[in-house]
C-alpha cells in the first residue's frame, strides 16, 4: 500500500482530532465490521462551521480523509460544506490508492451526516439541502447492505 506524503502527513499528524462537548451537529458513519467508523462533531455559528472535530476507527486512509475533510469544511458555511465531495478530499490528499477510495466516500458522508444532525436540531429538513441518505457502494461483503 503506497500512500502519498500528504496522506501520511494527515495520518501521522491528524488535524482536528477530538470531540466537541455540546456540539451543534454530530454525524457517525461506517461499520466496525467493515473496519472503519468516522464520527464528526460540528460547532456552528450563524450557519458558519466555527469548529469541527473528528474521531475515527480505521486504517491510515480513513484517518487521513477524516482529517482532510475537517480541514476543508472548517470556517465554511453549511452550504459550502455540503459542496465538499469525496473527490475534493482525494485531490487535497494528492490521491488515494484505488482500494481506499471508499474512505473518502465515508468522509464525505460523515460531514453530511453531521450537517444533517445540525439541520434537524434546528428544525429544518436535510432533504431541502439536497442531503440524501448515506448511500452504500455495494462493494464490501461485510456490511449490513452487502453481506449476510
Partner 1 sequence: MFVYADNAATTRIDPDVVKAMMPAFGELYGNPSTIYSKGREAKEAVNKAREQVAKAINCRPAEVYFTSCGTESDNWAIRGIVKHYAAKKGKHIITTNIEHHAVFECLKALEKEGFEVTYLPVNEEGFVTAQQVKEAIRPDTVLITVMTANNEIGSIQPIEEIAKTAKENGIFMHTDAVQAVGHIPVDVQKMGVDLLSLSGHKFHAPKGVGALYVRRGVLPDNLLNGGGQERGRRPGTENIAGILGLGAAIEKATSSLERDMEYVSALRDRLIDGILKNIPQCKINTPSHHRLPGTVNVSVKHIEGESMLLLLDMNGICATSGSACASGDLDPSHVLLAIGLPHEIAHGSVRFSFCAENTVEEIDYILDVFPKIAQRLREMSPLWEEAMKNDI
Catalytic residues: 34, 103
Of 35 and 95, which has the nearer Cβ to partner 1?
35
Is the distance from CB of 90 to CB of 1 less than 8 angstroms?
no
Q: Which of residues 89-108 bind partner 1 (CB under 8 A)?
A: 97, 99
Return the residue of 23, 24, 27, 34 that touches partner 1, per CB under 8 A: 34
User: d(Cα 82, Cα 130) in Å, to the nearest integer?
Assistant: 9
Binding of partner 1 at residue 83 (CB under 8 A)?
A: no
8's grid cell: 501520511
Mind giving me the DSSP string for 91-119? HHTT---GGGHHHHHHHHHHHHHHHHHHH
Return the residue of 24, 43, 52, 56 that touches partner 1, per CB under 8 A: 56
User: d(Cα 98, Cα 102) in Å, to the nearest integer?
Assistant: 8
Binding of partner 1 at residue 134 (CB under 8 A)?
A: no
Is the distance from CB of 115 to CB of 130 less than 8 angstroms?
no
Binding of partner 1 at residue 142 (CB under 8 A)?
A: yes
Return the residue of 23, 24, 36, 93 that touches partner 1, per CB under 8 A: 36
**Residues found in the chain:** 148
Of 34-42, 75-83, 87-95, 117-125, the window that binds partner 1 (rule: CB under 8 A) is: 34-42
| Three-class secondary structure of residue 38 per DSSP | strand
CB of 56 to partner 1, least distance (A): 6
Return the residue of 9, 15, 20, 59 that touches partner 1, per CB under 8 A: 59
User: d(Cα 41, Cα 23) in Å, to the nearest integer?
Assistant: 6
Chain residues binding partner 1 by CB under 8 A are 1, 8, 11-12, 14, 17, 19, 28, 32-39, 55-63, 97, 99, 139-142
Amino acid at each position: 500500500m503506497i500512500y502519498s506524503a500528504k496522506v501520511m502527513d494527515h495520518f501521522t499528524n491528524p488535524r482536528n482530532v477530538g470531540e466537541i462537548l455540546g456540539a451543534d451537529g454530530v454525524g457517525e458513519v461506517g461499520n466496525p465490521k467493515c473496519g472503519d467508523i468516522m464520527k464528526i462533531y460540528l460547532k456552528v455559528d450563524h450557519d458558519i462551521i466555527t469548529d469541527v472535530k473528528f474521531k475515527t476507527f480505521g486504517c491510515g486512509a480513513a484517518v487521513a480523509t477524516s482529517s482532510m475533510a475537517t480541514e476543508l469544511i472548517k470556517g465554511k458555511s453549511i452550504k459550502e460544506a455540503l459542496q465538499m465531495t469525496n473527490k475534493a478530499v482525494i485531490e487535497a490528499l494528492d490521491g488515494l490508492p484505488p482500494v481506499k477510495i471508499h474512505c473518502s466516500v465515508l468522509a464525505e458522508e460523515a460531514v453530511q451526516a453531521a450537517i444533517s444532525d445540525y439541520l434537524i436540531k434546528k428544525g429544518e429538513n436535510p432533504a431541502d439541502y439536497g442531503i440524501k441518505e448515506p448511500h452504500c457502494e455495494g462493494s464490501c461483503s461485510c456490511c449490513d447492505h452487502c453481506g449476510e
